[in-house]
C-alpha cells in the first residue's frame, strides 16, 4: 500500500479521535461531560484548517445547491425508508415502553 505524501497523518488521527469521541459521547452517559468539552471544537478546527477560499468563496450558493441537487434523492429515499420502519415497529410494539410512552397511551 502506498501513502499519499500530500496527506498529513496527524489530521487523520485527529479526525479519528473526534469521531470516536462523538460515538462514545452518544453511547456512554458517564463520558458525556468530558467528551463534550472538546469534540465539537476539533471538528470546527479541522474544517477551518481545510477551508479552501478559492474553491468555495467565489460561488458559495452554487456549491451548496450542487450538493443539495446531488443528495436530495438519497435523503428522501432514506427518510421514507426510516419512517416506514418506524411505523411498522411502532405498530408491532417492538419499541421499549419508555419510547412508546413518548407518543402517548396506546388504545
pLDDT of residue 73: 94
The distance from CA 66 to its chain's CA centroid, rounded to whole angstroms, is 20
91: which DSSP letter?
Answer: H
Q: Model confidence over 68-98: pLDDT tens digits?
A: 999 999 999 999 999 999 889 888 878 766 6
Quick check: 55 and 65 in contact, CB under 8 A?
Answer: no
Low-confidence ranges of the chain (pLDDT < 50): 1
Residue 33 has a pLDDT of 84
Predicted confidence at residue 4, as pLDDT, reads 56
Amino acid at each position: 500500500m502506498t501513502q499519499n505524501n500530500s496527506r498529513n497523518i496527524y489530521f487523520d488521527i485527529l479526525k479519528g479521535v473526534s469521531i470516536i469521541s462523538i460515538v462514545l459521547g452518544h453511547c456512554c452517559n458517564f463520558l458525556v461531560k468530558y467528551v463534550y468539552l472538546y469534540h465539537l471544537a476539533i471538528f470546527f478546527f479541522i474544517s477551518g484548517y481545510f477551508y479552501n477560499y478559492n474553491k468555495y468563496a467565489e460561488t458559495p450558493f452554487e456549491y451548496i445547491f450542487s450538493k443539495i441537487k446531488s443528495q436530495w434523492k438519497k435523503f428522501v429515499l432514506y427518510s421514507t425508508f426510516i419512517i416506514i420502519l418506524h411505523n411498522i415497529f411502532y405498530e408491532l410494539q417492538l419499541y421499549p415502553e419508555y419510547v412508546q410512552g413518548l407518543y402517548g397511551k396506546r388504545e
